[in-house]
């Protein structure tokens, strides 16, 4: 069955998967959504004996229906290879009554690698299929992890250039060092004076600039996005929820069809939306537990039906979730608005103009699968410390937000179903905050020194990703104002 993609903001003009991947965002500013969510066509039992790559094929083939089997398998095999430090790609660790699905075994030790190691291949394949001659310029705003994962994925990929904007004072020292040491002639990294939402808004404005697009085309360039709004990122993220379920089944931790809960530390709402899609495809997931940090717009949204970004932006120890506009939520709003682009557009316009919108009661009823809560900074640190003291297992700050919210959910509901917690980053990426939580360390100590100490405590060897950047020279030191992003892009392209 062929799956086409609609924009969340206008009726008609559906596009093929490869076109949606190439464009990233629809011309009207909407996000692409599959016209329907396909059901898995293999049984859970069959899937349970498959490798990660095989499961990836079974899931992705249902969405990327204009890719040939050979094209898709090629992309998958190039992505999920020895860049990951474990053959199982996404291992699970049982600790304190939950299964931590470790999504940080790729090149940049955060879950963004799960999708960004395959996106460049999906994109270049899509370009070939659509006879695109222009060079593709990937434009990305990052709260820290997407940037490096995208840079690593696209560095020296022929026919592409990549430009990453990050909030100059809003990422961890390791995250910044990872980005500014990025090699590759086609890479460009810029710190902006502003926060992540400023970076994301700036990028969205550049995407929406039709005049610029026409000028770029004249010069042989076109934009695409590596942000989690790209369907080429969302689809690969569904895979690991399917994989987690069938591996629990294979290891007889659950029986076939038994429902599990999933907890996801959430920022832009991409990762948890992927879990929701996995559920719609037939994976027996009961609750989708959405965990926020102190930027708790989503918690408030699930509690009240009002999405309100008019609030202070808090810099937390889980910076990849310091977000007030969760872009991917638009896909869910569109769905609960009855797949009606006009209704969805009204909400998004209200968000743009007033910073808030309120959904109807009917729409709220459609959100019964979701539960939202949040963790304060103190609770996050305590979750890291408690888990470490009880089990010896060390988690990062983002995962700790999820661990804390899981505890709150259980206390509130008494629901103790088997639970998978998406573990989104290695603790080595946020050594300052992690070490402060589990030891007497001063978080201002040099990040690499802290990494050595963390190694002693956690007994987990230092990942390559950290070793590599320790001595690496800084190759990018560009900083600009949030109003200068467009000019910065044009300068880099030499147009
Ligand atoms: C990006 C990120 C998140 C948030 O994921 P979304 O898909 O934006 O909700 C959580 N944790 C880490 C470590 C991340 O890098």
In the numeric block, the tokens 């990040």 are attached to 447
Which pLDDT score, from 0 to 100, does residue 207 have?
86
User: How far apart, in whole angstroms, are the C-alpha atoms of residue 416 and residue 261?
Assistant: 9
Question: Which residue positions in the chain have pLDDT lower than 70?
Answer: none
Paired tokens of 321:
């979730």
Helices (H) and strands (E) in the chain, counts: 22, 15
Among residues 61, 55, 34, 51, the alpha carbon closest in space to that of 43 is found at 55
Please identify, by atom number, the ligand 1 atom nearest to the C-alpha of residue 269.
Answer: 9
Query: Where do the H-state alpha helices sit in 102-260?
Result: 112-116, 119-129, 145-154, 173-180, 196-208, 210-218, 231-250
CA dihedral 197, 20, 41, 38 (to 10 degrees): 70
CB-CB contact of 379 with 404 (8 Å): yes
pLDDT tens digit sequence for 283-295: 999 999 999 999 9
In sign, the C-alpha dihedral spanning 115, 69, 18, 238 is negative
Which of 297, 424, 426, 431 maximizes ligand 1 atoms within 8 Å of its Cβ, making it the mutation to test the pocket?
424
CB-CB contact of 138 with 114 (8 Å): no
User: How far apart, in whole angstroms, are the C-alpha atoms of residue 36 and residue 380?
Assistant: 37
DSSP H or E stretch at residue 135 = strand 135-141
Which of 327, 398, 421 maximizes ligand 1 atoms within 8 Å of its Cβ, making it the mutation to test the pocket?
398
Instruction: Pick the residue whose CA is nearest to atom 14 on ligand 1.
Output: 320
Distance 266 CA to ligand 1 centre (A): 6
Instruction: Pick the residue whose CA is nearest to atom 2 on ligand 1.
Output: 320
Please identify, by atom number, the ligand 1 atom nearest to the C-alpha of residue 396.
Answer: 13
Among residues 192, 202, 151, the alpha carbon closest in space to that of 171 is found at 192
387-426 burial: b if 16+ Cβ within 10 Å, else e: bbeeeebbbbbbbbbbbbbbbbbbeeeeeeebbbbbbbbb
Catalytic residue among 16, 112, 247, 296: 112
Distance 248 CA to ligand 1 centre (A): 23
Angle at 437 between CA 431 and CA 441, to 5 degrees: 70
Distance 106 CA to ligand 1 centre (A): 15
Instruction: Pick the residue whose CA is nearest to atom 8 on ligand 1.
Output: 268
Q: In CATH, what number does 92-109+236-470 get?
A: 3.40.50.1100
pTM over 0.75: yes
User: How far apart, in whole angstroms, are the C-alpha atoms of residue 421 and residue 441?
Assistant: 27
Pocket of ligand 1 (CB under 6 A): 110-112, 145, 228, 265-271, 320-321, 398, 424-425
CA dist 167 to 16, 135, 228, Å?
Answer: 34, 27, 17
Our answer to whether residue 279 is catalytic in this structure is no
Distance 222 CA to ligand 1 centre (A): 27
Distance 323 CA to ligand 1 centre (A): 10
* Residue ranges per structural domain of the chain: 92-109+236-470
Helix (H, G, I), strand (E, B) or coil at 190: strand
Please identify, by atom number, the ligand 1 atom nearest to the C-alpha of residue 237.
Answer: 7
């Amino acid at each position: 069955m062929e799956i086409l993609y609609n924009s969340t903001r206008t009726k008609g003009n559906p596009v093929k998967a490869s076109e949606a991947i190439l464009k990233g965002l629809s011309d009207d500013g909407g996000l692409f959504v599959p016209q329907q969510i396909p059901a898995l066509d293999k049984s859970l039992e069959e899937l349970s004996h498959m490798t990660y790559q095989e499961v990836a094929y079974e899931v992705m083939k249902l969405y990327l229906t204009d890719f040939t089997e050979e094209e898709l398998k090629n992309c998958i095999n190039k992505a999920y290879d020895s860049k990951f430090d474990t053959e199982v790609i996404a291992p699970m660790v049982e600790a304190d009554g939950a299964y931590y699905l470790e999504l940080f075994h790729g090149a940049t030790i955060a879950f963004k690698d799960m999708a960004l190691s395959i996106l460049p291949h999906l994109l270049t394949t899509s370009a070939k299929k659509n006879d695109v001659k222009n060079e593709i310029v990937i434009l990305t705003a990052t709260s820290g992890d997407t940037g490096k994962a995208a840079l690593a994925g696209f560095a020296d990929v022929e026919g592409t250039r990549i430009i990453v904007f990050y909030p100059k004072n809003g990422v961890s020292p390791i995250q910044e060092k990872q980005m500014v040491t990025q090699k590759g002639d086609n890479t460009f990294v810029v710190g902006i004076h502003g926060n992540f939402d400023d970076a994301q808004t700036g990028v969205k404005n550049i995407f929406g600039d039709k005049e610029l697009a026409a000028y770029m085309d004249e010069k042989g360039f076109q934009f695409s996005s590596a942000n989690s709004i790209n369907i080429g990122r969302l689809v690969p993220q569904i895979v690991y929820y399917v994989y987690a379920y069938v591996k629990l089944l294979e290891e007889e931790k659950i029986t076939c069809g038994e429902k599990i809960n999933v907890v996801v530390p959430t920022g832009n709402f991409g990762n948890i939306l992927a879990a929701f899609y996995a559920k719609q495809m037939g994976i027996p997931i009961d609750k989708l537990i959405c965990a926020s940090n102190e930027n708790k717009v989503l918690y408030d949204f699930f509690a009240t039906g009002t999405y309100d970004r008019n609030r202070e932006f808090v810099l937390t120890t889980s910076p990849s979730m310091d977000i007030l506009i969760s872009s991917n939520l638009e896909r869910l709003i569109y769905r609960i608005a009855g797949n009606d682009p006009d209704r969805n557009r009204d909400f998004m316009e209200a968000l743009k103009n007033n910073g808030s919108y309120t959904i109807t009661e009917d729409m709220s009823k459609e959100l019964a699968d979701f539960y939202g809560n949040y963790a304060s900074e103190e609770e996050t640190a305590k979750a890291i410390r408690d888990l470490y003291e009880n089990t010896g297992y060390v988690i990062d700050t983002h995962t700790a937000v999820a661990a804390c919210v899981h505890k709150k959910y259980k206390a509130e509901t008494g629901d103790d179903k088997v639970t998978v917690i998406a573990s989104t980053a290695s603790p080595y990426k946020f050594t300052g905050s992690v070490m402060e939580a589990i030891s007497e360390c001063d978080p201002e100590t040099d990040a690499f020194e802290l990494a050595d100490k963390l190694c002693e405590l956690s007994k987990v060897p230092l990942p390559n990703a950290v070793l590599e950047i320790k001595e690496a020279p800084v190759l990018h030191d560009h900083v600009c104002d949030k109003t200068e992003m467009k000019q910065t892009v044009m300068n880099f392209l030499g147009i």
